[in-house]
Amino acid sequence: MKIYGNILWKGEFRKGTVVIKDGIIEDFRKERDFDFRGTVIPTFINMHTHIGDFWARDEPKGGIKEIVGPNGYKYKILRNRKKVYEGMRRAMRYMQKEGISHFVDFREGGKDGVELLLEVSRGFSIKPIIFGRGVYKEVEGLGLSSVSDYDREYIISKVEEAKRSKKLFAIHVSERIREDIDFVLSLHPDFIVHMLEATEEDLEKVSAARIPIVLTPRSNMFFGKVPNIPRFLKHNILLALGTDNGMFSLPSILREMEIAYKLSKLYGYVAPEEILKMATINPRKILRIEDNEIGKKARLIVFRRLMTPFELVNKSTILDIKKIIL
């Protein structure tokens, strides 16, 4: 298979032809030689989801603590196993159609919750990267809600268990209130989520520790909060995008990119190419996924026409996708 067009190759858009055989990239050429023509980017990776509550139909009422905090509204939603199962399947069907190849789910419900997502994912090409509330052999990582929700000794013991088991570790930080970044960084997370209430000093420390941050703009906006994306980039922090709670956000990276780009204009400017990287290249760096290089697996989205980065971020839809290679 040969695909010619605008290709996001090694972090830059280049005109050329990518050659794929048996799912592996064989070559990248400048010559115009193709079976398909269009715009080619790596598959999206949704870096933060909670798809267990996707089935919820009623408008959640209250603030962050009342809706997603311990014993909040979302935990009532998660009690109905049949509806959780059906909702997760709908969410995964949508993500797969949009060209999302992986999604990082912070899975509630203990081992049963993890096993339910694994059961749901059978038959899908899209891969769940599961961060459990506990450390189980089936998960890729430990994903905790917040340092404010647990005893410090408990957090330390869980993180030590994760490190011993060679699992990744991530945690929500400073979403509702500012939290102790020194304690968080002492845990050596692989990435952190939100940091909306962080101070400049907090961000300087995160940058110095080279810890990536995952942002979820649409979910934040539901709670009346707006992430200042240029501020994070000013500190040279590696950023990625996620869609967060399924209760009030479609797990769409296309929508997330558009909102992220437009919100950034409230505080300055972020180039559409940078937003695209937050949905494609940066997550691969965080999760250490190696693909889309010569000799490695091809995971690509082929759009039907030649599109600029601005169009991809602001005006592309599922209808523009010609082919998804997983």
Domain boundary assignment for the chain: 2-41+292-325, 44-287
| Average pLDDT for 237-246 | 97
Q: Are 278 and 239 in contact (CB under 8 A)?
A: yes
pLDDT over threshold 90, residue 33: no
Residue 235 has a pLDDT of 98
Residue 54 has a pLDDT of 95
Higher pLDDT pick, 72 / 285: 285
Q: What is the pLDDT of residues 289-303, one digit of tens each?
A: 999 999 999 999 999
pLDDT over threshold 90, residue 179: yes
What count of other Cβ atoms lies within 10 Å of the Cβ of residue 89? 17
Q: What are phi and psi of 170, to 5 degrees?
A: -145, 160
| Average pLDDT for 39-53 | 97
pLDDT-derived band at 129 (thresholds 50, 70, 90) equals very high
Q: Residue 55 and residue 116: Cα distance in Å, rounded?
A: 15
pLDDT-derived band at 72 (thresholds 50, 70, 90) equals confident
pLDDT over threshold 90, residue 31: no
Summary mean pLDDT of the chain: 96
pLDDT-derived band at 89 (thresholds 50, 70, 90) equals very high
DSSP per residue, 41-109: EEPEEEEEEEGGGTT--SPP-S-HHHHHSTTSHHHHHTT-HHHHHHHHHHHHHHHHHHTEEEEEEEE-S
Same fold, 2-41+292-325 and 44-287: no
Q: Are 127 and 104 in contact (CB under 8 A)?
A: no
pLDDT over threshold 90, residue 1: yes
| 44-287: CATH topology | TIM Barrel (3.20.20)
pLDDT-derived band at 198 (thresholds 50, 70, 90) equals very high
Q: Is domain 2-41+292-325 given the CATH code 2.70.50 in the classification?
A: no
pLDDT over threshold 90, residue 113: yes
| Average pLDDT for 272-290 | 98
Higher pLDDT pick, 30 / 294: 294
Residue 70 has a pLDDT of 79
Residue 77 has a pLDDT of 87
| Average pLDDT for 223-234 | 97
Q: Residue 127 and residue 136: Cα distance in Å, rounded?
A: 18
Which residues have a Cβ under 8 Å from the Cβ of 3 and sit 6 or more positions away? 17, 18, 20, 34, 35, 36, 37, 38, 40, 300, 302
Place of tokens 């789910």: 105
| Average pLDDT for 153-173 | 97
Residue 204 has a pLDDT of 98
pLDDT-derived band at 73 (thresholds 50, 70, 90) equals confident
| Average pLDDT for 164-174 | 98
Q: Are 216 and 185 in contact (CB under 8 A)?
A: no
Q: 62-76, 150-164, 228-242: lowest mean pLDDT where?
A: 62-76
The whole-angstrom distance between residue 115's C-alpha and the CA centroid of its chain comes to 21
Alpha helices in 178-292 (DSSP H): 181-186, 200-208, 217-222, 229-234, 253-264, 272-279, 281-287
| Average pLDDT for 125-143 | 97
Q: Residue 120 and residue 130: Cα distance in Å, rounded?
A: 13
pLDDT-derived band at 26 (thresholds 50, 70, 90) equals very high
